[in-house]
A = this chain, B = another copy of it.
Amino acid sequence: MAELFLDDFKAGDTFLSDGVTITESEIIDFALKYDPQHFHLDVNAAADSIYGGLIASGFQTLAVCFRLFIQKGILAKSSLGSPGIDDLKWRAPVRPGDTLKTRTEVLEIKPSSSKPDRGILRLRYSAMNQHGDEVLSFVLNHLLKKNEKR
């Protein structure tokens, strides 16, 4: 996958990641550290919850979704971090054994008015499970370099 800069993207461009299977072990490890709620930690308590079984922390699903895109390396030379996320929705539970892929779509490219070498790429992230259901969506504002060679 080619490494792209701000000015290489156009609205409507889409990317699809490889998949990753979310295991019970990873769900519990993450929750012990960052999200110690019973429906993320305890299979018996989770079975009695409104979810009917263990589900992944939404913060884990978010981080996995981002990782699946970033590991493609598209932004490896251009990424300068991010000022934030808009409109994050956890749409469906993620359960042990579910396999997630990330679809990203370019919404908008906004060159900086003060710094001519960079700008914001607004990317809509969507995590989908093996049934094609969208389990998470959000818009991440990427701060990206323009290509210096142009």
A residues touching B (Cβ–Cβ < 8 Å)? 33-37, 39, 49-51, 55, 57-59, 62-64, 66-67, 70-71, 75-76, 79-90, 138
A38 CA to B86 CA, complexed, in Å: 24
The secondary-structure label for the interface of chain A is mixed
Known contacts A81-B58, A82-B90; decide if A70 and B36 are in contact (CB<8 Å). Answer: yes
Per assembly, the copies of the chain total 2
Determine if A35 and B59 form an interchain contact, defined as CB atoms under 8 angstroms apart: no
Determine if A79 and B37 form an interchain contact, defined as CB atoms under 8 angstroms apart: yes
- Residues of chain B with a CB closer than 8 A to A75's CB: 37
Determine if B39 and A71 form an interchain contact, defined as CB atoms under 8 angstroms apart: no
- A86 CB to nearest chain B CB (Å): 7
Considering the complex of A and B, which 4 residue pairs feature the smallest CB-CB distances, nearest first? A34-B63, A85-B88, A84-B89, A59-B63
